[in-house]
């Protein structure tokens, strides 16, 4: 009499029902996880916008206390910004035409000197860029946006229109697009509008706007109409006749 237990054959593969159960579980997990992930990304963008808004509020007070000009350099292609410290007499223009006129006048004035005097004049710091040699320990590194975020645009009156990232990724760091915003030594900020959005959904993001004169900083979830907050400013001087 054979008392050995029967040999059970190993089961091969999985049944269709088991596959359907696994797919159903994965669908449930994704349904729960995707909204949560989107909420996390939105929180990161809001946090990045709030940090930028608080930075401007801090710089407005700090510039007046230290008698310096701060320049915020936005690297639109890398998704970073850096705070630089400069001379209080740094010159900034209200539009590109004014800058071009200044550069033309400066070049014409230089030609009036002898070659030696012209070389000496060119070595003097230009009012357009007086940020060399002035540093601050608190502002030595770049601030990076969250990995899922990017700058949609940065606007200041120096440029004709809002500045956006390059259409094609630059091949070198030197070709990356950098734009500037200034906070002056008298505590007045340049009118600045910065839009931070999701890489996956450019319509989703936050806008930080810095008003001139008052230095008031606001943050909105919607894309603001650039210049709408400045509509109250007169376009012409009053007539006293």
Does pTM top 0.85 for this prediction?
no
pLDDT tens string 14-64? 666 766 766 767 766 555 544 444 445 577 888 899 999 999 999 988 888
Taken in order 117, 119, 123, 124, the sign of the CA dihedral is positive
pLDDT at 94: 66
Task: Share the mean pLDDT of the chain.
Answer: 75
pLDDT score for 127: 46
Give whichever of 40-44, 88-92, 135-139 has the largest mean pLDDT: 88-92
d(CA 160, CA 132): 26
Exposure string of 142-161, with b = 16+ CB inside 10 Å and e = fewer, is eeebbebbbbbbbbbbbeee
3-state secondary structure of 223: coil
Domains of the chain with CATH codes: 16-90+129-229 (3.55.40.10)
What pLDDT is recorded for position 158? 87
Residue 179 has what pLDDT? 93
How much is the pLDDT for 64? Answer: 86
Tell me how far CA of residue 123 lies from CA of 17, 93, 100, 169, in angstroms: 80, 22, 20, 34
- Do residues 76 and 163 make contact, with C-beta atoms less than 8 angstroms apart? yes
Kindly state the average pLDDT of the residues 214-238. 66
For residues 214 and 57, the answer to whether their CB atoms sit within 8 Å is: no
């Amino acid at each position: 009499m054979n008392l050995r237990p029967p040999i059970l054959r190993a089961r091969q593969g999985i049944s269709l029902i088991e596959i359907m159960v696994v797919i159903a579980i994965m669908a449930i997990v994704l349904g729960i996880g995707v909204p949560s992930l989107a909420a996390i990304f939105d929180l990161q963008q809001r946090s990045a916008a709030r940090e930028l808004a608080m930075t401007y509020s801090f710089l407005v007070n700090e510039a007046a206390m230290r008698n310096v000009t701060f320049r915020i350099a936005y690297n639109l292609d890398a998704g970073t910004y850096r705070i630089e410290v400069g001379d209080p007499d740094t010159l900034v223009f209200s539009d590109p035409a004014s800058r071009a006129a200044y550069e033309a006048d400066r070049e014409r004035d230089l030609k009036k000197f002898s070659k030696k005097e012209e070389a000496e004049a060119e070595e003097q710091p230009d009012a357009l860029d007086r940020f060399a040699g002035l540093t601050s320990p608190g502002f030595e590194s770049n601030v990076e946006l969250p990995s899922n975020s990017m700058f949609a645009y940065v606007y200041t009156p120096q440029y004709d229109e809002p500045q956006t990232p390059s259409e094609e990724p630059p091949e070198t760091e030197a070709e990356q697009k950098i734009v500037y915003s200034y906070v002056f030594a008298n505590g007045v900020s340049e009118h600045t509008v910065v839009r931070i959005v999701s890489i996956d959904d450019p319509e989703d993001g936050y806008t930080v706007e810095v008003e001139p004169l008052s230095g008031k900083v606001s943050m909105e979830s919607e894309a603001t109409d650039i210049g709408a907050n400045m509509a109250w400013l007169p376009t012409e001087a009053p007539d006293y006749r």
